[in-house]
Amino acid sequence: MQSRETSTHGISKRARGNRKSRTTLNSIPAMTSTATSKPAQATGPVSPDDSCKTKITPACLQAIYNIPPDSALNTSSNIFVASFVGESADPADLKKFLGEFRPDVSQGTTFRVKAVDGGTNNASKATIEASLDVQYTVGVAAGVDTTFVSVGSNNTDGIAGFLDVINDLISQEEPPFVLTTSFGFNEKDVPVGLANNLCNAYAKLGARGTTIIFGSGDGGVAGIQNQNCTTFVPTFPSSCPFVTSVGGTNSFGPEVAVSFSAGGFSNVFARPKYQDDVVPAYLKTLGSTNKGLFNASGRGFPDIAAQAKSFQVVRGGQTISVSGTSAAGPTVAGVVALLNDAVFQDGGQPLGFLNPLLYSSAASALNDITQGNNPGCGTDGFPTSEGWDPVTGLGTPDFAKLLDVVKKSS
Going along 70-158, which residue ranges are E strands?
A: 78-83, 112-116, 145-151
How far apart, in whole angstroms, are the C-alpha atoms of residue 339 and residue 410?
11
In a 13 Å sphere around the CA of 82, the CA atoms on its Cβ side amount to 28
Is 17 marked as a binding-site residue? Answer: no
Just list the catalytic residues: 129, 133, 326
The torsion angles phi and psi of 212, rounded to 5 degrees, stand at: -110, 120
176 three-state secondary structure = coil
How far apart, in whole angstroms, are the C-alpha atoms of residue 176 and residue 356?
19
82 three-state secondary structure = strand
319 in Cβ contact with 99 (< 8 Å) = no
How far apart, in whole angstroms, are the C-alpha atoms of residue 368 and residue 92?
38
Q: Which residues of 126-151 are buried (b: 16+ CB within 10 A; e: fewer)?
A: bbbbbbbbbbbbbbbbbbbbbbbbbb
Is 329 marked as a binding-site residue? Answer: no
357 in Cβ contact with 207 (< 8 Å) = no
Q: Is the dihedral of CA 150, 153, 156, 157 positive or negative?
A: positive
Is 387 marked as a binding-site residue? Answer: yes
Largest CA distance in the chain: 56
Is 389 marked as a binding-site residue? Answer: yes
Residue ranges for the known binding site for Ca(2+) are 368-369, 387, 389
- Residues annotated within a binding site: 368-369, 387, 389
